[in-house]
Protein backbone atom coordinates (compact mmCIF):
# COMPACT_ATOMS: atom_id res chain seq x y z
CA UNK A 1 0.00 0.00 0.00
CA UNK A 2 1.35 3.46 -0.85
CA UNK A 3 1.95 5.84 2.02
CA UNK A 4 -1.27 7.59 3.05
CA UNK A 5 0.51 10.64 4.41
CA UNK A 6 4.08 11.97 4.62
CA UNK A 7 6.08 11.76 7.84
CA UNK A 8 9.61 12.78 8.75
CA UNK A 9 12.22 10.37 10.18
CA UNK A 10 11.04 11.06 13.72
CA UNK A 11 7.47 10.05 12.84
CA UNK A 12 5.96 13.55 12.63
CA UNK A 13 3.30 14.37 10.00
CA UNK A 14 4.39 16.83 7.29
CA UNK A 15 1.82 18.70 5.21
CA UNK A 16 2.88 19.47 1.64
CA UNK A 17 2.96 23.03 0.33
CA UNK A 18 0.24 23.88 -2.22
CA UNK A 19 1.60 24.60 -5.68
CA UNK A 20 -1.03 26.61 -7.61
CA UNK A 21 -1.19 30.09 -6.11
CA UNK A 22 -2.87 32.45 -8.58
CA UNK A 23 -5.64 34.91 -7.83
CA UNK A 24 -8.72 36.26 -9.62
CA UNK A 25 -9.18 40.00 -10.11
CA UNK A 26 -10.10 42.59 -12.73
CA UNK A 27 -6.41 43.54 -12.94
CA UNK A 28 -5.16 39.99 -13.40
CA UNK A 29 -3.85 39.39 -16.96
CA UNK A 30 -5.52 35.97 -17.21
CA UNK A 31 -7.93 35.25 -14.38
CA UNK A 32 -10.69 37.88 -14.62
CA UNK A 33 -13.89 37.64 -12.59
CA UNK A 34 -16.81 36.17 -14.55
CA UNK A 35 -19.99 34.28 -13.78
CA UNK A 36 -19.76 30.58 -14.60
CA UNK A 37 -16.05 30.69 -15.51
CA UNK A 38 -14.67 29.15 -12.31
CA UNK A 39 -15.43 25.84 -10.62
CA UNK A 40 -14.70 24.47 -7.16
CA UNK A 41 -13.76 20.84 -6.64
CA UNK A 42 -14.22 19.83 -3.02
CA UNK A 43 -14.60 16.99 -0.59
CA UNK A 44 -17.32 17.40 2.03
CA UNK A 45 -15.10 15.46 4.42
CA UNK A 46 -12.09 17.74 4.12
CA UNK A 47 -11.82 20.62 6.61
CA UNK A 48 -9.77 22.73 4.17
CA UNK A 49 -12.28 22.32 1.35
CA UNK A 50 -15.13 22.94 3.79
CA UNK A 51 -13.79 26.48 4.36
CA UNK A 52 -14.31 27.28 0.70
CA UNK A 53 -17.88 25.95 0.65
CA UNK A 54 -18.91 28.01 3.66
CA UNK A 55 -17.32 31.15 2.22
CA UNK A 56 -18.90 30.56 -1.20
CA UNK A 57 -22.30 30.28 0.45
CA UNK A 58 -21.89 33.30 2.79
CA UNK A 59 -20.77 35.44 -0.15
CA UNK A 60 -23.78 34.39 -2.26
CA UNK A 61 -21.55 32.82 -4.90
CA UNK A 62 -23.32 29.49 -5.28
CA UNK A 63 -24.76 30.45 -8.65
CA UNK A 64 -21.57 32.22 -9.80
CA UNK A 65 -19.01 29.50 -9.07
CA UNK A 66 -20.16 25.91 -9.59
CA UNK A 67 -19.05 22.98 -7.53
CA UNK A 68 -18.39 19.24 -7.75
CA UNK A 69 -18.06 16.95 -4.75
CA UNK A 70 -15.74 13.96 -4.70
CA UNK A 71 -16.61 10.62 -3.17
CA UNK A 72 -15.81 10.47 0.55
CA UNK A 73 -13.54 7.46 0.07
CA UNK A 74 -9.91 8.38 -0.63
CA UNK A 75 -7.91 5.50 -2.09
CA UNK A 76 -4.30 5.05 -3.25
CA UNK A 77 -5.05 6.96 -6.46
CA UNK A 78 -6.60 9.88 -4.59
CA UNK A 79 -10.09 11.36 -4.69
CA UNK A 80 -12.62 10.23 -7.29
CA UNK A 81 -15.89 11.46 -8.77
CA UNK A 82 -18.90 9.32 -9.42
CA UNK A 83 -18.61 7.43 -12.65
CA UNK A 84 -21.61 8.52 -14.72
CA UNK A 85 -21.18 5.72 -17.27
CA UNK A 86 -21.42 3.14 -14.52
CA UNK A 87 -24.38 4.96 -13.02
CA UNK A 88 -26.39 5.05 -16.20
CA UNK A 89 -25.60 1.40 -16.85
CA UNK A 90 -27.22 0.72 -13.50
CA UNK A 91 -30.40 2.60 -14.35
CA UNK A 92 -32.43 1.37 -11.44
CA UNK A 93 -30.04 2.66 -8.85
CA UNK A 94 -29.63 5.89 -10.78
CA UNK A 95 -33.39 6.53 -10.74
CA UNK A 96 -33.71 5.47 -7.16
CA UNK A 97 -31.25 8.13 -6.09
CA UNK A 98 -32.12 10.76 -8.65
CA UNK A 99 -34.36 12.57 -6.21
CA UNK A 100 -31.36 13.28 -4.05
CA UNK A 101 -29.84 15.23 -6.90
CA UNK A 102 -32.72 17.69 -7.05
CA UNK A 103 -31.48 19.80 -4.17
CA UNK A 104 -27.89 19.10 -5.08
CA UNK A 105 -25.09 19.87 -2.72
CA UNK A 106 -26.89 22.84 -1.23
CA UNK A 107 -29.44 20.62 0.47
CA UNK A 108 -28.97 19.87 4.12
CA UNK A 109 -29.69 16.33 5.16
CA UNK A 110 -30.87 16.95 8.66
CA UNK A 111 -31.70 13.31 9.29
CA UNK A 112 -28.52 11.84 10.65
CA UNK A 113 -30.16 8.55 11.50
CA UNK A 114 -29.13 6.57 8.40
CA UNK A 115 -27.20 3.47 9.21
CA UNK A 116 -23.61 3.34 8.01
CA UNK A 117 -23.90 -0.41 7.79
CA UNK A 118 -25.66 -0.06 4.45
CA UNK A 119 -22.93 2.07 2.90
CA UNK A 120 -20.18 0.39 0.92
CA UNK A 121 -16.96 1.92 -0.33
CA UNK A 122 -17.97 1.27 -3.92
CA UNK A 123 -21.40 2.86 -3.62
CA UNK A 124 -22.50 4.91 -6.62
CA UNK A 125 -25.13 7.21 -5.20
CA UNK A 126 -25.32 10.42 -7.15
CA UNK A 127 -25.27 13.55 -4.95
CA UNK A 128 -25.27 11.43 -1.81
CA UNK A 129 -21.79 9.93 -1.89
CA UNK A 130 -20.49 12.32 -4.54
CA UNK A 131 -21.30 14.15 -7.74
CA UNK A 132 -19.80 13.63 -11.18
CA UNK A 133 -17.25 15.79 -12.97
CA UNK A 134 -19.51 17.56 -15.47
CA UNK A 135 -17.00 19.31 -17.77
CA UNK A 136 -14.62 16.63 -18.95
CA UNK A 137 -16.19 13.47 -17.54
CA UNK A 138 -13.10 12.95 -15.41
CA UNK A 139 -13.05 10.12 -12.93
CA UNK A 140 -10.36 11.46 -10.59
CA UNK A 141 -9.12 14.71 -9.06
CA UNK A 142 -5.69 13.68 -10.38
CA UNK A 143 -7.00 14.10 -13.96
CA UNK A 144 -7.47 17.82 -13.25
CA UNK A 145 -3.93 18.15 -11.91
CA UNK A 146 -2.49 16.44 -15.01
CA UNK A 147 -4.65 18.51 -17.34
CA UNK A 148 -3.31 21.62 -15.65
CA UNK A 149 0.29 20.46 -15.43
CA UNK A 150 1.24 17.20 -17.19
CA UNK A 151 4.43 16.86 -15.10
CA UNK A 152 2.64 17.32 -11.76
CA UNK A 153 4.21 15.05 -9.16
CA UNK A 154 2.84 16.08 -5.75
CA UNK A 155 -0.34 14.99 -3.94
CA UNK A 156 -3.75 15.50 -5.51
CA UNK A 157 -5.44 17.61 -2.88
CA UNK A 158 -8.78 19.36 -2.61
CA UNK A 159 -9.98 22.06 -2.69
CA UNK A 160 -9.23 23.16 -6.25
CA UNK A 161 -10.39 26.43 -7.78
CA UNK A 162 -10.49 25.68 -11.50
CA UNK A 163 -10.69 27.97 -14.54
CA UNK A 164 -12.92 26.52 -17.25
CA UNK A 165 -11.57 28.97 -19.83
CA UNK A 166 -7.86 28.19 -19.65
CA UNK A 167 -8.55 24.71 -18.23
CA UNK A 168 -6.06 25.13 -15.42
CA UNK A 169 -6.00 25.20 -11.65
CA UNK A 170 -6.08 28.80 -10.43
CA UNK A 171 -5.36 27.96 -6.82
CA UNK A 172 -5.29 24.85 -4.60
CA UNK A 173 -4.60 26.52 -1.26
CA UNK A 174 -7.81 26.93 0.73
CA UNK A 175 -6.61 29.90 2.79
CA UNK A 176 -6.05 31.80 -0.45
CA UNK A 177 -9.19 30.55 -2.19
CA UNK A 178 -11.34 31.93 0.63
CA UNK A 179 -9.62 35.31 0.34
CA UNK A 180 -10.34 35.31 -3.41
CA UNK A 181 -14.00 34.50 -2.75
CA UNK A 182 -14.21 37.17 -0.05
CA UNK A 183 -12.62 39.87 -2.25
CA UNK A 184 -14.82 42.26 -4.21
CA UNK A 185 -13.91 40.44 -7.48
CA UNK A 186 -17.36 38.88 -7.88
CA UNK A 187 -19.42 41.77 -6.46
CA UNK A 188 -21.14 42.59 -9.74
CA UNK A 189 -22.66 39.10 -9.86
CA UNK A 190 -24.27 39.08 -6.40
CA UNK A 191 -27.09 41.01 -4.75
CA UNK A 192 -26.57 43.98 -2.42
CA UNK A 193 -27.02 41.89 0.71
CA UNK A 194 -24.10 39.65 -0.24
CA UNK A 195 -21.98 42.51 -1.54
CA UNK A 196 -21.92 43.84 2.02
CA UNK A 197 -20.59 40.60 3.49
CA UNK A 198 -16.94 41.04 4.41
CA UNK A 199 -15.35 38.17 6.28
CA UNK A 200 -12.03 39.94 6.74
CA UNK A 201 -12.98 43.55 7.55
CA UNK A 202 -9.99 45.86 7.54
CA UNK A 203 -10.25 46.87 11.19
CA UNK A 204 -10.08 43.21 12.27
CA UNK A 205 -7.61 41.90 9.69
CA UNK A 206 -4.52 41.85 11.92
CA UNK A 207 -6.43 40.13 14.72
CA UNK A 208 -7.90 37.58 12.30
CA UNK A 209 -4.47 36.80 10.83
CA UNK A 210 -2.99 36.34 14.27
CA UNK A 211 -5.84 34.10 15.45
CA UNK A 212 -5.72 32.04 12.23
CA UNK A 213 -2.02 31.52 12.52
CA UNK A 214 -1.96 29.87 15.95
CA UNK A 215 -5.25 28.07 15.35
CA UNK A 216 -3.83 26.60 12.12
CA UNK A 217 -0.59 25.35 13.66
CA UNK A 218 -2.03 24.01 16.89
CA UNK A 219 -5.66 23.07 16.18
CA UNK A 220 -6.51 22.77 12.44
CA UNK A 221 -3.25 21.04 11.60
CA UNK A 222 -2.65 20.04 15.24
CA UNK A 223 -5.25 17.26 15.14
CA UNK A 224 -3.56 15.84 12.01
CA UNK A 225 -0.15 16.01 13.69
CA UNK A 226 -1.57 14.01 16.61
CA UNK A 227 -3.55 11.58 14.45
CA UNK A 228 -0.88 10.89 11.84
CA UNK A 229 2.02 10.65 14.31
CA UNK A 230 3.86 7.37 13.88
CA UNK A 231 5.62 7.39 17.23
CA UNK A 232 4.00 7.53 20.67
CA UNK A 233 6.12 10.38 21.95
CA UNK A 234 5.24 12.54 18.94
CA UNK A 235 1.54 11.77 19.39
CA UNK A 236 1.70 12.49 23.11
CA UNK A 237 3.19 15.93 22.75
CA UNK A 238 0.92 16.84 19.81
CA UNK A 239 -2.29 15.79 21.55
CA UNK A 240 -1.33 17.78 24.65
CA UNK A 241 -0.64 20.76 22.42
CA UNK A 242 -4.08 20.49 20.76
CA UNK A 243 -5.84 20.58 24.13
CA UNK A 244 -3.66 23.38 25.45
CA UNK A 245 -4.85 25.50 22.53
CA UNK A 246 -8.47 24.42 22.84
CA UNK A 247 -8.19 25.68 26.43
CA UNK A 248 -6.97 28.97 25.04
CA UNK A 249 -9.95 29.25 22.65
CA UNK A 250 -12.32 28.29 25.48
CA UNK A 251 -10.95 31.11 27.63
CA UNK A 252 -11.35 33.64 24.81
CA UNK A 253 -14.92 32.56 24.12
CA UNK A 254 -15.81 32.33 27.83
CA UNK A 255 -14.62 35.90 28.43
CA UNK A 256 -16.48 37.10 25.35
CA UNK A 257 -19.71 35.46 26.40
CA UNK A 258 -19.47 36.91 29.92
CA UNK A 259 -19.05 40.39 28.40
CA UNK A 260 -22.07 39.80 26.12
CA UNK A 261 -24.17 38.71 29.11
CA UNK A 262 -23.17 41.91 30.89
CA UNK A 263 -24.17 43.89 27.83
CA UNK A 264 -27.52 42.23 27.09
CA UNK A 265 -28.46 40.58 30.39
CA UNK A 266 -28.45 36.85 31.06
CA UNK A 267 -31.93 36.26 29.63
CA UNK A 268 -31.42 37.47 26.08
CA UNK A 269 -29.41 34.58 24.72
CA UNK A 270 -30.31 35.33 21.09
CA UNK A 271 -28.85 38.83 21.36
CA UNK A 272 -25.68 37.51 22.99
CA UNK A 273 -25.33 34.78 20.35
CA UNK A 274 -25.72 37.30 17.53
CA UNK A 275 -22.34 38.77 18.52
CA UNK A 276 -20.67 35.60 19.81
CA UNK A 277 -17.68 35.15 17.51
CA UNK A 278 -13.99 34.48 17.91
CA UNK A 279 -12.67 37.83 16.66
CA UNK A 280 -14.65 41.07 17.04
CA UNK A 281 -18.45 41.04 17.25
CA UNK A 282 -19.21 39.76 13.78
CA UNK A 283 -18.80 36.55 11.83
CA UNK A 284 -15.34 36.45 10.25
CA UNK A 285 -12.97 34.14 8.45
CA UNK A 286 -11.51 33.23 11.86
CA UNK A 287 -14.82 31.54 12.76
CA UNK A 288 -14.97 29.68 9.46
CA UNK A 289 -11.44 28.33 9.80
CA UNK A 290 -11.91 27.19 13.39
CA UNK A 291 -15.39 25.77 12.73
CA UNK A 292 -14.30 23.17 10.17
CA UNK A 293 -12.04 21.53 12.75
CA UNK A 294 -14.36 21.87 15.75
CA UNK A 295 -17.37 20.37 13.93
CA UNK A 296 -15.24 17.28 13.12
CA UNK A 297 -13.80 17.02 16.62
CA UNK A 298 -16.34 14.91 18.49
CA UNK A 299 -17.42 12.73 15.53
CA UNK A 300 -13.92 11.95 14.27
CA UNK A 301 -10.87 13.50 15.89
CA UNK A 302 -11.67 12.26 19.42
CA UNK A 303 -11.51 8.59 18.48
CA UNK A 304 -9.86 8.39 15.05
CA UNK A 305 -7.01 10.85 15.74
CA UNK A 306 -6.93 9.90 19.45
CA UNK A 307 -7.57 13.49 20.57
CA UNK A 308 -9.47 12.15 23.53
CA UNK A 309 -8.53 14.03 26.69
CA UNK A 310 -12.17 15.13 26.50
CA UNK A 311 -14.70 16.07 23.81
CA UNK A 312 -16.01 19.49 22.83
CA UNK A 313 -19.47 18.70 24.20
CA UNK A 314 -18.16 17.36 27.51
CA UNK A 315 -15.21 19.61 28.18
CA UNK A 316 -15.63 22.95 26.44
CA UNK A 317 -19.02 24.60 27.16
CA UNK A 318 -18.22 27.87 25.36
CA UNK A 319 -16.68 26.32 22.25
CA UNK A 320 -19.68 23.99 22.24
CA UNK A 321 -22.11 26.91 22.41
CA UNK A 322 -20.19 28.78 19.68
CA UNK A 323 -20.12 25.80 17.27
CA UNK A 324 -23.81 25.02 17.80
CA UNK A 325 -24.68 28.66 17.21
CA UNK A 326 -22.90 28.59 13.85
CA UNK A 327 -24.37 25.22 12.87
CA UNK A 328 -27.97 25.84 13.86
CA UNK A 329 -28.30 29.55 13.14
CA UNK A 330 -26.38 29.83 9.86
CA UNK A 331 -27.44 27.87 6.77
CA UNK A 332 -23.99 28.30 5.23
CA UNK A 333 -22.52 26.22 8.03
CA UNK A 334 -25.29 23.62 8.41
CA UNK A 335 -25.89 23.04 4.71
CA UNK A 336 -22.22 22.44 4.00
CA UNK A 337 -21.64 20.10 6.95
CA UNK A 338 -22.13 16.46 6.02
CA UNK A 339 -21.47 14.15 8.95
CA UNK A 340 -21.73 11.03 6.78
CA UNK A 341 -18.95 12.16 4.46
CA UNK A 342 -16.91 13.28 7.45
CA UNK A 343 -17.17 10.05 9.44
CA UNK A 344 -16.95 7.69 6.50
CA UNK A 345 -13.99 9.39 4.90
CA UNK A 346 -11.63 9.30 7.84
CA UNK A 347 -12.59 5.93 9.25
CA UNK A 348 -12.63 4.06 5.91
CA UNK A 349 -9.84 5.79 4.01
CA UNK A 350 -7.08 5.72 6.63
CA UNK A 351 -6.64 1.97 6.66
CA UNK A 352 -3.37 2.24 8.56
CA UNK A 353 -5.24 3.79 11.46
CA UNK A 354 -8.44 1.76 11.15
CA UNK A 355 -7.61 -1.41 9.15
CA UNK A 356 -11.04 -3.01 9.45
CA UNK A 357 -12.87 0.09 8.26
CA UNK A 358 -15.53 -0.14 10.94
CA UNK A 359 -17.06 3.30 11.37
CA UNK A 360 -17.97 4.19 14.96
CA UNK A 361 -21.65 5.18 15.09
CA UNK A 362 -21.37 7.80 17.81
CA UNK A 363 -21.38 10.26 19.22
CA UNK A 364 -25.15 10.53 19.14
CA UNK A 365 -26.36 12.93 17.97
CA UNK A 366 -23.64 14.20 15.63
CA UNK A 367 -24.26 17.65 17.05
CA UNK A 368 -26.54 18.64 19.91
CA UNK A 369 -29.26 21.24 19.60
CA UNK A 370 -28.69 24.71 20.95
Ligand X SMILES: N[C@@H](CCC(=O)N[C@@H](CS)C(=O)NCC(=O)O)C(=O)O
CB 228 → ligand X: shortest distance, Å?
11
Task: Report the interhelical angle of 205-215 vs 232-264 (nearest 10°).
Answer: 150
Q: Which is nearer to ligand X, 131 or 174 (CB)?
A: 174
Identify the helix (H) or strand (E) that includes residue 68: strand 66-69
Contacts of 41 (CB under 8 A, 6+ apart): 67, 68, 70, 133, 141, 144, 158, 159, 160, 162
- Candidates 172, 195, 160; CA nearest to 58 is 195
CB 159 → ligand X: shortest distance, Å?
6
Contact predicate 28/171, CB 8 Å = no
Q: Which is nearer to ligand X, 4 or 93 (CB)?
A: 4
Annotated binding site for glutathione: which residue ranges? 79, 155-158, 173-174
Catalytic site residue from 31, 38, 41, 46? 46
CB 16 → ligand X: shortest distance, Å?
7
Which residues make beta-bridge pairs with 130? Answer: 126
**46: annotated active-site residue:** yes
CB-facing half-sphere around the CA of 164: CA atoms within 13 A: 17
Which residues make beta-bridge pairs with 68? Answer: 41
Before 159, cis peptide (omega within 30)? yes
Q: Which is nearer to ligand X, 325 or 347 (CB)?
A: 347
CB 15 → ligand X: shortest distance, Å?
6
Q: Which is nearer to ligand X, 68 or 174 (CB)?
A: 174
CB 79 → ligand X: shortest distance, Å?
6
Catalytic site residue from 41, 138, 224, 301? 224
Q: Whole-angstrom Cα distance, residue 295 to residue 366?
A: 9
Q: Which is nearer to ligand X, 160 or 283 (CB)?
A: 160
- Candidates 223, 210, 217, 220; CA nearest to 252 is 210
Binding site for ligand X (CB under 6 A): 18, 46, 48, 74, 78, 155-159, 172-174
Catalytic residues, which ones?
46, 224
Amino acid sequence: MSKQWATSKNGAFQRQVSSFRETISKQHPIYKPAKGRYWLYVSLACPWAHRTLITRDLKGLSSVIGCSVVHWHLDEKGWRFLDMEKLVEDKESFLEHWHDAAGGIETAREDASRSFAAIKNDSQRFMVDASNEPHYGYKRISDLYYKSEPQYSARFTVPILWDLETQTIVNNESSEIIRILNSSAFDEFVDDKHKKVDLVPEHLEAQIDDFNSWVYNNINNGVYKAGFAEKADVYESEVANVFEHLDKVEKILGDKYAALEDKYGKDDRQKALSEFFTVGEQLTEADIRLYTTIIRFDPVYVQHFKCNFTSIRAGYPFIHLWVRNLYWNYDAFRHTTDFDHIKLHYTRSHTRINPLGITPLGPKPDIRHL
